[in-house]
Amino acid sequence: MKAGEEVPPAVHRPGRDRLWFTRSRGYAVFVLRELTSVFVAWAVVFLLMLAAAVLGGRLAEFAALAARPWMVAINVVTLVATAFHAVTFLNLAPKATVVRLDGYRLPAWLIQGGNHSLWLVVSAVVAFFVLRGFG
């Protein structure tokens, strides 16, 4: 610094609050839903591994891998996380989708109910075909 120059004032920068999302239930659910995306990605990878095993004739090897206790544990956690992700995502639909019929806006519960009902029907159809194959 040269003589006669003004000294800039010191700027206080508070530390970052790394747990900002814990102060509100809505923020906590948002962050948790975003973190469950990792498990959704794992479910996709697992299904691609299954498809590759079926197409490559290595289904027995894949079944042995999938039956290991640590793999079962990961997939149970993945099921719970993916269900949480899906439910919270579908619950947000009325905020992102405005449906108007004859100038009347459909209530949020009707949009949510439709989404959850369709999810249930698709799941039942998939379960029917998957379980029928094991009978």
**Chain segment 15-39, per-residue pLDDT in tens:** 888 888 899 998 999 899 999 999 9
Closest CA to 31 of 22, 39, 40: 22
Over residues 82-111, the mean pLDDT reads 89
pLDDT score of 82: 95
| pLDDT of 52 over the 90 cut | yes
Give all domains of the chain, ordered by start, each with its CATH number.
20-97 (1.20.1300.10)
84 near 39, Cβ under 8 Å? no
Average pLDDT over all residues of the chain:
90
Closest CA to 106 of 95, 119, 117: 95
pLDDT score of 59: 93
pLDDT score of 135: 57
